Amino acid sequence: MDYTSTSEDIKIIIEKVQEKSYNFNLLIKEINQVIVGQKYMINRLLIGLLSSGHVLLEGVPGLAKTLAIKTLAETLDGEFSRIQFTPDLLPADVIGTLIYNMKDNNFSVKKGPVFANFILADEINRSPAKVQSALLEAMQEKQVTIGDETFRLKEPFLVLATQNPIDQEGTYPLPEAQVDRFMLKCVVSYPEFEQERTIMRQNISKEKHQVKKIVSLDMIFEARDLVKEIYMDEKVENYILDIVFATRFPEKYNLSQLKPYILFGSSPRGSISMAMAAKAHAFLNQRGFVIPEDVKSIAKDVLRHRIGVTYEAEAENITSEYVIDQILHSITAP
C-alpha cells in the first residue's frame, strides 16, 4: 500500500468500503436473528474473517460460542467442519492419516476435518498438547503434512476455537506457541437480563429461523483486499508500536510499577495483528481510515494472550488485562 495516500485516495477508499461493507452488515443482521446479545463476539469473529486471523473464544459453557461460529459459517458460502476436542482425541483425528489398502498393497491418504474453509475447534483445551499442536502447522502455514506429503489447505482457511476457563476441571492450558497463532482471544460474558429473556423465548418457541447464505467466498477475498487498502496514518502506527513496546519495556513509558508483573511482552505478531484488526474494525464501521479508537477497541483482544504475567502478579491477582489497561491509560493517543 502507498503510505503517502492523498485525501483523494482516502476518499476513494471510503467509497469502496461503504459499498463492500453493506453485505457484511446484512450478514450481522442475519446472525442476530439467531444469536442475541453477543454483538462483541460477532464483531470479533468478523474481524478475524476479514483479517485472515484465527479467533479464540473463552467463556463458561452455554454462552452460544459454538452456535455463533456455526451460524457465521452458515451465512458464508464455504465448507464448514467441526472438531470436538476430547481427552482421547488423536492428532490423526484432526489432520488425517495414512490408510493401508490391502487390495492395492499401498497407502492412501485419508484427509481429516481440518480440510475445510471454516474450522470450529470446540473446547480446544479439553485435549492434551499433542493434539492441540496438530493444528499449529495448519494455522500458521496453511498446510498439513501427512506421511511424506504436504497438502495446501483451502482458502479462506479460518480456525474459530472455543475454550472453557482453564481453572475448570479437565482442561489443559494451550502452549504459548499455539496461543500466539490466534489473532484474537475474546472473553465472552453473560447476556443482559432482557437479552436472556429473548434467548429463552426463542428457544422454547416452535418457530426456528433458517439461516440464509449472505456472503460468497469471492466477497470475502474482495473485502480482505480492501481492508489492506484502508489508510493508517504514521501517528496511528506509532501508537500501536508504543502499546506493544510498553508490554516489553514498561519502564521506558513511565510504567516501572508494571515491570515486576510482566514475564514477557507481546511478540511482533501482536503489532501485525493489532494493525490488521484495527483496519478490519474500521471497515465494519464503514470507514476508509483507522482512528485511535479502533486500536483501543481491539487492543485487549489482540494482547491479552500475548503477555505473560509473573508468579508475583498471579499472587496479587494481577492479570494481563490489568497490564493492558494501565498501558492504554498511560500512552497518549494521537
pLDDT tens across 160-189, in order? 888 877 555 667 777 777 788 899 998 888
Closest C-alpha to 170, from 124, 133, 209: 124
> Does 21 reside within a domain?
no
Sign of the four-CA dihedral 82, 72, 212, 219:
negative
Judge if 142 and 266 occupy the same domain: no
Share of the chain above pLDDT 90, in %: 37
Judge if 132 and 219 occupy the same domain: yes
Judge if 67 and 148 occupy the same domain: yes
Name the band, by pLDDT with cuts 50, 70 and 90, for residue 2.
very low
Judge if 107 and 179 occupy the same domain: yes
Choice between 33 and 223, residue whose per-residue pLDDT is larger: 223
- What number of other Cβ atoms are within 10 A of residue 279's Cβ? 25
Q: pTM higher than 0.85 for the full model? A: yes
The residue type of 247 is T
Task: Tell whether the model's pLDDT for residue 42 goes beyond 70.
Answer: yes
- Total structural domains within the chain: 2
Alpha carbons 138 and 114: distance in angstroms, whole number = 8
Grid cell at residue 259: 515491570
**pLDDT tens digits, one per residue of 260-299:** 999 999 989 999 999 999 999 999 999 999 999 999 999 9
Domain that holds residue 238: 230-334
Judge if 182 and 94 occupy the same domain: yes
Find the farthest-apart pair of alpha carbons in the chain and give their distance in angstroms, rounded: 71
pLDDT at residue 3 in the model = 52
Task: Tell whether the model's pLDDT for residue 198 goes beyond 90.
Answer: no
Of 18-22, 161-165, 192-196, 276-280, the least confident:
161-165
Phi, psi of 212 (to 5 degrees): -105, 150
The domain spanning residue 192 has which CATH number? Answer: 3.40.50.300
Judge if 225 and 269 occupy the same domain: no
Judge if 181 and 291 occupy the same domain: no
Three-class SS state of 94: helix
